[in-house]
Structure 1
Amino acid sequence: MRILLWHVHGSWTDAFVRGSHEYLFPVLPGGGPWGLGRAGRDWPDSVREVALAHLDADAIDAVVLQRPEEIGEVAERLGRRPGGDLPAVFVEHNTPKVNFPFSRHPLADQDSIPVVHVTHFNKLAWDTGRAPSLVVEHGIPDPGHLYTGELPELGVVVNEPVRRGRVTGTDLLPAFAAVAPVHVFGMKTEGLAAAAGFETSRLRLRGDLKPRELHRELARCRVYVHPMRWTSLGLSLLEAMHLGMPVLALATTEAPRAVPAEAGTVSADVGELLHTARRLLANPEEARRRGTAAREAALARYSLGRFLADWDAVLAELRPRRLASRSPGDGEPASERQEEQILVPARERKSP
């Protein structure tokens, strides 16, 4: 299939584009949220940058939506309506931001575009009304068992911790820094010491590293800390588990499902997390053993192969609604004509 989508969540997309399809990413001269294209990512050759204004609308088999505004953008630019004559799914990456637990999803009042949640907690948290709703859990490319734990220090990966504050548990980091220095990886970490009240000597700002360098450097830290209060399930947590790191996580959103007891500690009691941090920092062999358990759990539930297979199943179910309403022609059952529309890429279809 030829699938149109925007570059919105890079880490999720890293996994999604490793499937067997062709992936089309709009690109604009200035980039920005509507035209990032590949953005320099090391993605397969099946990922292509396209100028939406010059794209043949009939060359698209499906669109994967990630922002409500994309529905109107596709309809205006391509003249095909997502969920109507263009098969579409909407990927919900986020937890509700307001009015939880009564948060109504933007697509709740329609039934032609399925809402695919990335975690079971998200599906539980959102009121999706009459929209079809399902879960495809995360899967990530395995970075390898890189853990050394040579530094008796703590690692955290978080983007924009100053702006996001309590959402990402930024206010909790100084308590962990009192136990051991904290390495903070991610985008826009400048000003973190002042914003969170860190002692400068206990904070290591590592910046936004390329994935391979990030994995190598993070794996040198003895313990991974996941202080997120209200995010779906940070892919950095799954990456740390794949690396073979023991993990400490707040017992919020999807973390209790993702992290088994033998992999570290998951608790809403920050004091309990700090206690475990001290123990693992002082006992590298226990840290290594728990990290191995974390890796085994991540490979079992969040493998790339399972993720891509689940998405293939979702995409195979999509049907353009305009075909469903047509009467059979030339003795050909409508159901068979729908099946042809699903399985045959648009560029290979014969014109009527």
Structure 2
Amino acid sequence: MRILLWHVHGSWTTSFVQGPHEYVVPVTADRGPDGLGRARTWDWPASVREVAAEDLLDLDVDLVVLQRPHERDLAERWLGRRPGRDLPAVYVEHNTPTGDVPDTQHPLADQDRILLAHVTGFNQLFWDCGSARTVVVDHGIVDPGHRYTGEIARAAVAINDPVRRGRSVGTDLVPLLARTSGVDVFGMRVDLLPAATGLPPRQLSVYEDLPQDRMHDELARRRVYVHTARWTSLGLSLLEAMHLGMPVVALATTEAALAVPPHTGVVATRPEEVAAAAAAFLADPALAARTGAAARRHALERYGLKRFLDDWDVLLEGEVGR
């Protein structure tokens, strides 16, 4: 099957393109948001092919995976066919709703041509999709291997663009963690964080836009991973940390409350309890290692790549055959 999709979410796409199909990603001269092409910091197989936007009109595709509302119009303009009408399409909803939650209506609500595939049950529950067909395909990630050493007695946090995104990703919790245990923050545009918080390097260090493999190595050297997001579907960095064998502490919000069972880490809603849980793992390396091993076992079972790809194959074949 030849599938067209845009490079929107690098981590999710890295898992999706491990399947048995041919994957076409549009590329534009400026490599802007609608034409990023192949990933540069993730490892994608040769089955992922860049095609210039102006060449898509001559390309036969079997199905389109949409991830943003305007991609329906982009696909019609670039392919000359309307998704859901002239060729099969699936819309993947990665994000939690914004606006008047829980009454936010999805952009594809009340239509029956394009299946809405939510990446978490929480998303399906909170989006108002009306009469649209919906399904949940839980995340699955490429296993980075058990790399945990916990040799650095500091907490690790992964946040992209923390200053701009603020409370939704829990940026306001970073100073509390930093003062309690010292924290190392990984992600894109984290270089702005020290100036925004005023925290000294002994309390806060940042690691900007590392390649995925190196980031996994560096995360695994920290004693505990803390997932600070308040309002996100399910951060894949949390699942990656669990695969690495790290003990995790997370806010008991959105899908994270189900992704982290009691034996694999701690979930809490009170900031002081989040900080205390991180401090407890930092103070007890043996407890951290045992909990991290349990987290890895759970993540492999619930969020393994094979289950993810099998679920997607069943879904895609069903939509092409409709």
**Does the alignment reach a TM-score above 0.5?**
yes
Matched, 1:305 2:306: yes
After superposition, the Cα gap between the structure-2 partners of 1:141 and 1:17, relative to the gap in structure 1 and judged at 3 Å, is same
- Counterparts of 1:53 and 1:237, CA distance in 2: 38
Matched, 1:262 2:260: no
**5+ unaligned residues in a row in structure 1: which ranges?**
320-338, 343-352
Whether contact under 8 Å (2:105, 2:128) holds in the other structure is yes
Match of 2:25?
Answer: 25
Whether contact under 8 Å (2:57, 2:80) holds in the other structure is no
Q: Could you list the per-position Cα deviations for residues 186-241 of structure 1 after superposition, in whole angstroms to 9, with x for gaps in the alignment?
A: 00012212323434420111111111100001100000000100011110000000
Q: Could you list the per-position Cα deviations for residues 152-199 of structure 1 after superposition, in whole angstroms to 9, with x for gaps in the alignment?
A: 100011100010000100001111111211110000012212323434
**2:164 partner amino acid:** R
Aligned residues: 321
Deviation at 1:142, TM superposition (A): 0.3
Match of 2:61?
Answer: 60
- Counterparts of 1:172 and 1:80, CA distance in 2: 47
Deviation at 1:135, TM superposition (A): 0.5
Q: How do 1:333-352 residues align onto structure 2 when only pairs under 5 Å count?
A: 339=321
Match of 2:10?
Answer: 10
- Counterparts of 1:282 and 1:39, CA distance in 2: 38
Match of 1:187?
Answer: 188
Q: How do 1:42-57 residues align onto structure 2 when only pairs under 5 Å count?
A: 42-56=43-57
- Counterparts of 2:9 and 2:225, CA distance in 1: 22
- Counterparts of 2:286 and 2:235, CA distance in 1: 26
Q: How do 1:311-330 residues align onto structure 2 when only pairs under 5 Å count?
A: 311-319=312-320
Give the greater-gyration-radius structure (CA). 1
- Counterparts of 2:63 and 2:19, CA distance in 1: 14
Tell me the secondary structure at the aligned position of residue 149 of structure 2: coil
Tell me the secondary structure at the aligned position of residue 178 of structure 1: helix
CA RMSD of aligned residues (A): 1.2
- Counterparts of 2:278 and 2:149, CA distance in 1: 16
User: Percent same amino acid among aligned pairs?
Assistant: 58
Tell me the secondary structure at the aligned position of residue 45 of structure 1: coil
Deviation at 1:57, TM superposition (A): 5.1
Matched, 1:238 2:260: no
Whether contact under 8 Å (1:57, 1:80) holds in the other structure is no
Tell me the secondary structure at the aligned position of residue 246 of structure 2: coil
**1:203 partner amino acid:** L
- Counterparts of 2:266 and 2:274, CA distance in 1: 6
Match of 1:38?
Answer: 38
Moved more, 190-199 or 306-315: 190-199
- Counterparts of 1:169 and 1:198, CA distance in 2: 16
**5+ unaligned residues in a row in structure 2: which ranges?**
none
Tell me the secondary structure at the aligned position of residue 190 of structure 2: coil
Q: Could you list the per-position Cα deviations for residues 115-153 of structure 1 after superposition, in whole angstroms to 9, with x for gaps in the alignment?
A: 100011000010011110110010000000000000110
- Structure 1 segments, 4+ long, off by >6 Å, are none
**2:46 partner amino acid:** D
**1:117 partner amino acid:** H
TM-score between the two structures when normalised by the length of structure 2? 0.97
- Counterparts of 1:228 and 1:195, CA distance in 2: 18
TM-score between the two structures when normalised by the length of structure 1? 0.89
